[in-house]
């Protein structure tokens, strides 16, 4: 079950984010989500904006993600490529993390996201091979490189579902 995250979920969400960071590090992704990101204030901001979601399995929070409507400022310029469509509104998935033992998270998140919008964009770190693999096997198209507001580079993907 996916539901809006609540303030009382924050400590559980932060444990999920720590576990996800551990998965990244074990896979060789040593720099994404560094320096405590995503932090409590990031999660609280998502909750306040009503864009933070938890996936519950057997009554326990097993995953977290943010699903935000366009525009995403970092997506205004894309390099070495182009968006599949740059005229339609879209939603963006950010801060997806889960425990390693919780299965089906990516598929569940996608089904939920595509029920909100048929046009989804996601960016990921060059070293996040797990996310890149999940995006490719789920029909996302690599579109190019974007830069976060911090200046950090990310690989950008998009998928538009047929109506």
Secondary structure (DSSP) of the chain: -EEE--GGGHHHHHHHHHHHHHHHHHTT--STT-TTPSPHHHHHHHHHHT-EEEEEETTEEEEEEEEEESP-GGGS--BSS--S-SSS--EEEEEEEE-TT--SHHHHHHHHHHHH-SEEEEEE-TT-HHHHHHHHHTT-EEEEEEE-TTS-EEEEEEEE---
Q: Phi/psi at 68 (nearest 5 deg)?
A: -120, 140
Domain of 134, in residue numbers? 2-160
Specify the pTM: 0.95
CATH number at residue 121: 3.40.630.30
pLDDT digits (tens, 9 = 90+) for 117-153: 999 999 999 999 999 999 999 999 999 999 999 899 9
How many domains does the chain fold into? 1
Rounding to the nearest 10 degrees, give the CA dihedral for residues 33, 3, 135, 125: -10
pLDDT digits (tens, 9 = 90+) for 85-120: 999 999 999 999 999 999 999 999 999 999 999 999
């Amino acid at each position: 079950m996916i539901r809006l995250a609540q303030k009382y979920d924050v400590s559980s969400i932060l444990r999920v984010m720590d576990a996800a960071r551990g998965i990244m590090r074990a896979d060789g992704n040593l720099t994404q989500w560094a320096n405590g990101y995503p932090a409590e204030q990031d999660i609280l901001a998502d909750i306040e904006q009503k864009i933070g979601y938890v996936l519950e399995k057997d009554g326990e929070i097993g995953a977290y993600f943010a699903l935000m409507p366009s525009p995403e400022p970092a997506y205004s310029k894309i390099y070495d490529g182009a968006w599949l469509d740059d005229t339609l509104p879209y939603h963006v998935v950010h801060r997806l993390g889960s425990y390693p033992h919780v299965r089906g998270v990516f598929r569940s998140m996608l089904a939920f996201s595509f029920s909100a919008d048929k046009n989804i964009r996601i960016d990921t770190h060059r070293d996040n091979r797990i996310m890149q693999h999940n995006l490719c096997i789920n029909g996302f198209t690599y579109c190019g490189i974007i830069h976060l507001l911090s200046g950090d580079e990310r690989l950008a993907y998009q998928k538009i579902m047929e109506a």
